[in-house]
Amino acid sequence: MTIHILNCVSMSPWWPRWHLGGVCLLLETDKGPLLVDTGLGLHDYENPSTLVRFYIADTGIHMDAEQAAVRQIIRFGWKPEDVHHIVMTHLHFDHAGGLPDFPGSQIHVYSPEYAAMCKPRGLVERMAYNKPDFDHDVHWVLHNKVDTRWFEFDAIRLDFEPEMYLIPLPGHTRGHCGVAIRDGSGWLFHAADALPTNAEFDLLPSWIYKLVIGPHVPRLKAFADSHPEVRILAGHMWMEWFEKNGSTRKKIPSGDLNDTRTRSKSQ
Ligand SMILES: [Zn+2]
């Protein structure tokens, strides 16, 4: 099985002055190519909403429509309509912006996240969901029942091969999830925005993490330390990391990926 790790949104915020990409996964499953998250979509690059324009200025988003997941999938040789399923970690604008580019896809999401997007509470939630991402006739598949465990985490088994789980990790958003994917004899755990940038735990003070990405950082660090066989990805990785480990125009065997946790931001 090949896992393609795509950067579908690049940003260079003023502070901290980091150069980041946004992780999307493109998996070859028994039900065809499947995306985990979408990054920004063509509408964000071509006709950004007021909300997205705010973030373009605030987080220094690079306005490069070639990074849209749909453009990258076409470069792989697929058509947008080949993507029948998209699994979402959460519905923030920088993860869900590409949904309108796949109008025929079923969109898998944890129910509390869908509820937060439909009825955001307070300014923080209202400032993170971009209505134009969901204006089309979205085919939602809502997952609301934790039905198993993956290692020590509550999990929802998704009906795909390779084996795949939604792992509820609420905090960054009401229904934020990680996604665990069987990768040969090991696992890839995309912990998305529950994990610090580049899956590095000591970049910022812990109180900032608790405020911005939720309460799971200590638990995920302990898990990473005790399970070196599980490769862990964050929602945002250094741009240089994608240049070395990501896949935008070529296929790479997942076994060639380095352990993300051994890299530092200076590399
Ligand atoms: Zn987010």
pTM: 0.89
The mean pLDDT of 1-7, rounded to a whole number, is 89
Cα(50) to centroid(ligand 1), Å: 18
Percentages helix, strand, coil for the chain, rounded to the nearest 5? Answer: 30, 30, 40
Q: Is the pLDDT of residue 3 over 50?
A: yes
Of the given ranges (126-130, 160-164, 248-252), which has the lowest mean pLDDT?
Answer: 248-252
With residue 196 as reference, give the H or E element that holds it: none
**In the structure encoding, which two tokens stand for residue 19, read together?**
């150069």
DSSP 8-class letter at 61? B
Q: Answer whether 3's CB lies under 8 Å from 254's CB.
A: yes
DSSP 8-class letter at 56? H
Kindly provide the residue ranges of all beta strands, DSSP E only, lying in the chain, ordered along the sequence: 3-11, 20-29, 32-36, 85-87, 106-110, 139-143, 148-150, 153-158, 164-168, 177-183, 186-192, 230-234, 236-238
Render pLDDT for 99-135 as a digit per residue (tens, 0 to 9): 999 999 999 999 999 999 999 999 989 999 999 999 9
Cα(124) to centroid(ligand 1), Å: 11
Cα(172) to centroid(ligand 1), Å: 7
Computed over every residue of the chain, the mean pLDDT equals: 89
Render pLDDT for 54-91 as a digit per residue (tens, 0 to 9): 999 999 999 999 999 999 999 999 999 999 999 999 99
Cα(16) to centroid(ligand 1), Å: 17
Cα(200) to centroid(ligand 1), Å: 17
Task: Quote the CA–CA distance of 216 and 103 in Å, as a whole number.
Answer: 33
Q: Is the pLDDT of residue 245 over 80?
A: yes
Cα(194) to centroid(ligand 1), Å: 9
Cα(179) to centroid(ligand 1), Å: 14
Cα(92) to centroid(ligand 1), Å: 5
Q: In terms of pLDDT, which residue wins out, 250 or 219?
A: 219
Task: Quote the CA–CA distance of 167 and 203 in Å, as a whole number.
Answer: 24
pLDDT at residue number 168: 98
Nearest to 97 by CA among 141, 58, 161, 53: 53
Max mean pLDDT among 37-46, 193-202, 230-239 falls in 37-46
Main-chain phi, psi angles of 32, to 5 degrees: 90, -175
Contacts of 129 (CB under 8 A, 6+ apart): 91, 92, 93, 96, 116, 117, 120
Cα(116) to centroid(ligand 1), Å: 13
Cα(75) to centroid(ligand 1), Å: 26
The torsion defined by the Cα of 59, 178, 241 and 37, in degrees rounded to 10, comes to -60
Cα(58) to centroid(ligand 1), Å: 15
Q: Is the pLDDT of residue 244 over 90?
A: no
Cα(161) to centroid(ligand 1), Å: 27
Can you name the residues that pair with 106 across neighbouring β-strands? 85, 139
Render pLDDT for 13-23 as a digit per residue (tens, 0 to 9): 887 888 999 99
